[in-house]
Amino acid sequence: MRKKKNMFPETPAPAYTMKDTDIPAELFQPLPEEEKLTDVINRPSISYWRNAYLKMKSDKLAVIGIFFLIFMILVAIFVPMFSPYTYDQQDYSAIYQSPNAEHPLGTDMFGRDLLVRIAYGARISLTIGVVTAIVSLVVGVLFGGISGFFGGKVDMLMMRFVDVFASVPSLLYSILLIMFMGAKMTSILIAICMTYWLNPARQTRGQILTIKNQDYAMAAKVVGETRFQILMRHLIPNSMGPIIVTVMLLIPSAIFDEAFLSFIGIGIAVPVASWGTLANDGMATMGMYPHLMLFPALAICLTMFALNFIGDGLRDALDPRLKR
């Protein structure tokens, strides 16, 4: 069979020799040193938590809130310890005294030192806030993590349980528990913790649903880790940023709830001092002795501001989208 003749025969490309006059010589001059460093990374890479620390440190309001909270904790610990007065010590010769050298914040209707009572009230209020945050973090994260990770019927049943709890006002839980258990810190703590874990649980569930199909979770499953190990080692630690912020903002809410319950007379029973009972006592004589109302209310307000500043700072510091 005869081969068909190629109508367009290939011709070799002509050899091209670059001449010195083709490219200007100035293009071959050495690059200046400052232009060589334009693509160099000028600072080392930092970790997620190191970046969060730097952003938290640069937030002045959050730093002020941290220092004020430390100051209140020190006051709550050491003032009742070293003061010559106790929170329930009565002195009828010193009733309704204004702030003076002997009583820096004055005295109440029974001659009790107001500074010691506010410091002792700080113990109760801060304890309730911190314990509520810890219980809400542990219970809410575990409950929401299991619900979001397993999904299906497990998720449906667990979330309906949350909806049932959330449908009842927290004040009703508090009133019922105080009626059965008495007006003491234990009953108030249980009543507050019964509803405060719901928001962390819902948020944890949402975070787990978002990240449980990520590559690192699938890789952990391939290498043979159990479901519990995947949940505890990989999913929950990678979703803790926004959850910590939510739990941190629960502390001022818990403190305010305790103060409100004590203010309306169903919280901490007298003569035990809490910020709510002190504000309630001072309200009756606010016109004649304003210091009895001013200082407890000031302690509540400043602590609320400090905790909210810290919560806002944590929210910005733990947001990976705002990395420095």
Q: Quickly list H helices, the chain.
A: 33-36, 48-58, 60-82, 114-150, 152-166, 170-181, 185-196, 198-211, 215-222, 227-230, 240-248, 250-263, 275-283, 291-317
Q: What is the CATH number of the domain that holds 219?
A: 1.10.3720.10
205 lies in a domain?
yes
pLDDT digit string (tens) for 277-322? 888 888 878 888 888 889 988 998 898 889 888 888 887 787 655 5
58 lies in a domain?
no
pLDDT at 239 over 70: yes
User: For 46-50, 109-113, 124-128, 234-238, which range has the lowest pLDDT when averaged over its residues?
Assistant: 46-50
Q: For residues 68 and 221, which has the higher predicted lDDT (pLDDT)? A: 68
Q: In what helix (H) or strand (E) does residue 235 lie, and over which residues does it extend?
A: none
**In the predicted model, what is the mean pLDDT of the chain?**
81
pLDDT digit string (tens) for 164-222? 888 888 778 888 888 887 777 888 888 888 888 888 899 889 888 888 888 888 888 88
Has this prediction a pTM greater than 0.85? no
Confidence of residue 63 (pLDDT cuts 50, 70, 90): very high
222 lies in a domain?
yes
Question: Looking at residue 21, what is its pLDDT?
Answer: 54
pLDDT digit string (tens) for 1-13? 555 555 545 555 5
**What's the domain count of the chain?**
1
CA distance 163 to 111: 49
208 lies in a domain?
yes
* 25 Cβ contact partners less than 8 Å away, ≥ 6 residues apart: none
12 lies in a domain?
no
Task: Work out the percent of the chain whose per-residue pLDDT is above 70.
Answer: 85
The token pair that represents 306 in the structure block:
């400090």
pLDDT at 40 over 70: no
256 lies in a domain?
yes
10 lies in a domain?
no
Question: Looking at residue 78, what is its pLDDT?
Answer: 92
CA distance 187 to 262: 12
Question: Looking at residue 310, what is its pLDDT?
Answer: 87
Range of the domain at 226: 69-80+105-319
CB of 90 closer than 8 Å to CB of 110: yes
123 lies in a domain?
yes
